[in-house]
């Protein structure tokens, strides 16, 4: 669900959109809203507060079947004026010794080969947390302070369960490695893990979408994602050297969990890639942006996916990542062993791959129902 609320940012009233970070479908819709901007300070997307933007937001969410709550948005004008008149407290400045420790922590994570996104997230959330207690020394911050921040800031402001867990993990690791202080994080309330099933696009719809794309670069990019079950960052990071047309393989390097994997590719995909290479002649990356030698952007990938799928399925709420889910499910329905699917997807644990057994409706339809023998 998206929480729509007021935001007073940079001396202007804005419309803030808050939703769980794992909601990829919602994120794709929000990123396509005209005029949307992201606030690192408030950690949310926002638009200028005007009736036109409200109508655009409502229309986009309704068409995508996305639940939203705007109850808190419609306050009285008096309350808004009072809110505007309240002077904003200056942003706390981190002490130099704190900045030095956070820098050391960042370098430590880099040396331990943490993922770039994890490092960026941990550092950002640490700064946010420590700024909240800028009047205290690092060693004076207790588990009760962390618990108070967890409730008063993360939960009350509607941050996602993922954000909550990441913040707790970042604080725990920072204090353990940089200050040799072991906070008993077990005392903190942790969110229940989500058990949402992946959304799968019908194979015929994917076929219709891919065959109807006129732009050869767009067709190639989306075909690779589906044909190889890639994450979007894996596609963007692919380089020409990762493709071996003679062996018909594609090497995915430094994927999630710092793992490489080699994927087989079909003759049809090889032929498509040859046509693409002949037309675009990329220099370094397999799929390049407008500037030669530079990778394609994730935002552009999402846009071309939605633009082309919308032509096939009206009012859908699929995300680009649904192509990866569909790849796995379609393989399972075709009889591919789950262990092979695990290897192709690059899953560390078979338990992660097993989620696709819950979405394969064809396999469920093969189960004999007790009423099949009844003369009804």
**Measured distance CA(4)–CA(1) in Å, rounded:** 10
Q: Phi and psi of 7, rounded to 5°? A: -145, 125
Judge whether 356 counts as a catalytic residue.
Answer: yes
Q: Determine whether 321 is an active site residue.
A: yes
Q: Could you tell me if 227 and 221 are in contact, meaning their C-beta atoms sit under 8 angstroms apart?
A: no
Under 8 Å between Cβ of 224 and 234: no
Q: Of residues 356, 358, 362, 368, which has the active-site annotation?
A: 356
Rg (CA), the chain: 24
236-266: burial string, b at 16+ Cβ within 10 Å, e else: bbbeeebbeeeeeebebeebeeeeeeebebe
Task: Report residue 6: phi and psi, to 5°.
Answer: -75, 150
Q: Listing from the earlier edge strand, what are the strands of the sheet with 2-9? A: 37-39, 44-48, 12-18, 2-9, 68-69
Answer yes or no: 231 catalytic.
Answer: yes
Q: Which candidate, 56, 39, 57, places its Cα nearest to that of 2?
A: 57
Find where tokens 């793992």 sit: 259
Q: From the candidates 347, 348, 351, 358, which is the catalytic residue?
A: 347
Catalytic residue among 127, 256, 261, 303: 256
Question: Among residues 231, 306, 325, 330, which one is catalytic?
Answer: 231
Q: Choosing from 218, 324, 325, 330, which is the catalytic residue?
A: 324
Residue 358 is among the residues annotated as catalytic for this protein: no
Structural contact between residues 258 and 114, judged by C-beta atoms closer than 8 angstroms:
no
Report the C-alpha gap between 62 and 151 in whole angstroms: 31
Close Cβ partners of 116 (under 8 Å, ≥ 6 residues apart):
none
Residue 337 CB neighbour total at 10 angstroms: 10
256 carries an active-site annotation: yes
**Which of 183, 232, 321, 325 is labelled catalytic?**
321
Catalytic residue numbers, as ranges: 231, 256, 321, 324, 347, 356
């Amino acid at each position: 669900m998206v929480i729509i609320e007021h935001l007073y940012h940079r001396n202007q009233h804005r419309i803030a959109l808050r939703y769980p970070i794992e909601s990829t479908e919602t994120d794709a819709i929000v990123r396509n809203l005209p005029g949307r901007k992201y606030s690192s300070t408030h950690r949310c997307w926002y638009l200028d507060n005007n009736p036109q933007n409200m109508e655009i937001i409502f229309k986009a969410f309704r068409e995508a079947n996305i639940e939203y709550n705007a109850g808190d948005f419609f306050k009285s004008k008096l309350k808004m004026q009072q809110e505007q008149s309240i002077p904003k407290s200056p942003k706390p400045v981190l002490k130099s010794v704190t900045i030095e420790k956070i820098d050391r922590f960042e370098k430590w994570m880099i040396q331990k080969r943490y993922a770039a996104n994890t490092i960026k997230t941990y550092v950002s959330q640490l700064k946010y947390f420590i700024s909240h207690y800028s009047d205290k020394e690092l060693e004076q911050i207790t588990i009760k302070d962390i618990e108070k921040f967890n409730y008063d800031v993360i939960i009350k402001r509607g941050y996602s369960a993922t954000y909550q867990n990441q913040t707790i993990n970042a604080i725990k690791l920072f204090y353990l490695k940089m200050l040799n202080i072991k906070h008993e994080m077990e005392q903190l309330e942790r969110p229940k893990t989500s058990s949402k099933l992946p959304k799968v696009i019908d194979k015929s719809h994917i076929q219709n979408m891919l065959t109807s794309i006129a732009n050869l670069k767009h067709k190639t990019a989306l075909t690779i994602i589906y044909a190889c079950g890639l994450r979007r960052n894996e596609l963007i990071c692919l380089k020409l050297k990762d493709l071996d047309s003679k062996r018909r393989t594609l090497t995915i390097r430094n994927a999630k969990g710092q793992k490489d994997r080699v994927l087989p590719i079909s003759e049809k995909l090889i032929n498509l890639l040859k046509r693409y290479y002949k037309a675009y002649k990329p220099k370094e990356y397999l799929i390049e942006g407008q500037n030669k030698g530079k990778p394609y952007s994730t935002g552009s990938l999402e846009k071309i996916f939605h633009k082309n799928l919308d032509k096939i399925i009206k009012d859908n709420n699929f995300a680009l990542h649904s192509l990866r889910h569909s790849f796995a499910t379609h393989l399972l329905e075709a009889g591919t062993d789950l262990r092979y699917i695990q290897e192709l997807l690059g899953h560390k644990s078979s338990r992660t791959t097993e989620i696709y057994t819950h979405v394969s409706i064809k396999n469920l339809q093969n189960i004999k129902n007790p009423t099949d023998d009844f003369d009804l």
